Amino acid sequence: MRDVKAAVCREFGAPLAIETVTLPDPGFGEVLVEIEAVAICHSDITFIDGGWGGDLPAIYGHEAVGRVAEVGVGVRDLAPGARVLVTLIRSCGACPSCAGGRPTQCATPGAGAQPRSGEATVVAAMNCGAFAEAVVVDQSQLAPVPDDIPAAAACILSCGVVTGLGAVVNTAKVRPGDWCVVIGAGGVGLNAIQAARLSGAARVVAVDISDEKLDAARDFGATDTVLAGSDGRAAMLDLGRLADHVFVTVGAGPVIDGALDWLAPHGTAYLVGMPHSGTVGHFDPVSASYFGQGLRGTRMGDVVLRRDIPWLLDLHAQGRLMLEELVSETFPLDRINDAIAATRAGQGRRNVVVL
């Protein structure tokens, strides 16, 4: 057992409290990782706001990088000192989803031992709880990373990069010549944009409410930009034609409602950002069936960590994948509420807590 500082949520909507919690020893297949950096994701904020429910007190944080400090029995290829990404994707490796190459939809991920505060359990939310100096997670949640990549940039691979990039590459399988629209040019959207560029998309149209974010979108590979609130169909026809793929990276109901407006016949809109539970969408099903259009979700970019992280690291080493540019500001753990406030205000790309 080990005492660590963590940012604990005791009441939905309230600031996180920096407290000392006690981590369990790593059990079978588990690894204790000392966290170097953890990014603030919109999913953390939705949980903090109570948008998806869950038990309290809880520790959020699921987009991290760190160094292995202890391993439990049954850990195959990680030893103390190894540098790893820490993700929320806990997978058994044996259920039909895992065996079919879809570990993000693992049916039987299991649950590890939880941190404690005195006698009380503190939930390590999303199988992770990385707003802390260290975590105990399953080995399936980890992927090795080299020592020379800066922590604040590396941690974004754990969620923001794989979610946006994976939606384009793994879920939509964008082909050279396709037309893509990416709605929302934040931490996830910019990665969908750079993935569409990597995939050879003919046009990558970024949509956002902020001119500053649209400028960033161009840096990441957007060929065209459109201010949110515009008529999607008219904007696309102005550019030449409707889109083969629309990636909705923001979790807002009205934005999701408008996703099909941008779409060509036989195109598909992908729901990447997750709104609060209970959000209801409004579509015209006749137009979707008449035009043969699809609407589907994608979770964590359908990533397979041990397959996808090595090639993403290689692309980054070659200068073909932007990571450092995704970091807008870094904060120490005791200023995590400032980092959350900056993300909530829509400032920047990824705000990162560096330990």
**Residue 238, Ramachandran bin (φ over 0: left; ψ between -120 and 50: alpha; else beta):** alpha
Q: How far is CA 231 from CA 55, 104, 166, 186, 293, in A?
A: 41, 34, 27, 21, 19
One of 8, 16, 23, 41 touching Zn ion (CB under 5 A): 41
Choose, by CB under 5 A, the member of 78, 95, 239, 342 that binds Zn ion: 95
Q: How far apart are CA 307 and CA 104, in angstroms?
A: 13
Pick the binder of Zn ion from 106, 165, 226, 263 (CB under 5 A): 106
Which residues inside 302-341 make contact with Zn ion, applying CB under 5 A? none
Stretch that binds Zn ion, among 18-26, 42-50, 175-183, 312-320 (CB under 5 A): 42-50
- Of the pair 200, 297, the CB lying nearest Zn ion is at 297
Contact in structure between 216 and 185 (CB atoms under 8 Å): yes
Least distance in Å: CB of 196 to Zn ion? 20
Q: Which two tokens stand for residue 45?
A: 């904020």
Q: Which stretch binds Zn ion (CB under 5 A): 105-113, 179-187, 308-316, 320-328?
A: 105-113
- In the complex, what is the shortest distance from the CB of residue 100 to Zn ion, in angstroms, rounded to a whole number? 10
274 binds Zn ion (CB under 5 A): no
Neighbours of 31 (CB within 10 A): 26
Residue 101 C-beta: closest distance to Zn ion, Å: 11
Least CB distance from residue 156 to Zn ion, whole Å? 10
CB of 2 to Zn ion, least distance (A): 25
Indicate the residue among 161 and 263 with the shorter CB distance to Zn ion. Answer: 161
Nearer to Zn ion, 159 or 352 (CB): 159
Q: Does 343 bind Zn ion (CB under 5 A)?
A: no
- The Cα–Cα gap between 33 and 99 comes to 27
DSSP letter at 24 equals P
Tokens of 112: 């590890």
Nearest in space to 308 (alpha carbons), one of 190, 205, 157: 157
**91 or 171: CB nearest Zn ion:** 91
Contact code string over 129-168 relative to Zn ion, x by CB under 5 A:
------------------------------x---------
The conformation of residue 326, written as its DSSP 8-state character, comes to: G
Q: Which is nearer to Zn ion, 226 or 339 (CB)?
A: 339
Residues binding Zn ion: number (CB under 5 A) = 8
Which residues, including other chains, have CB under 8 Å from residue 354's CB and lie 6 or more apart? Answer: 36, 37, 151, 152, 330, 331, 332
Core vs surface per residue 66-91: b (16+ CB within 10 A) or e: bbbbbbbeebeebeeebbbbbbbbbb
Q: Is residue 43 a contact residue for Zn ion (CB under 5 A)? A: yes
Distance CA 11, CA 355 (A): 24
Of 32, 65, 98, 295, the one binding Zn ion (CB under 5 A) is 98
Residues in contact with Zn ion by the rule CB under 5 A: 41, 43, 91-92, 95, 98, 106, 159
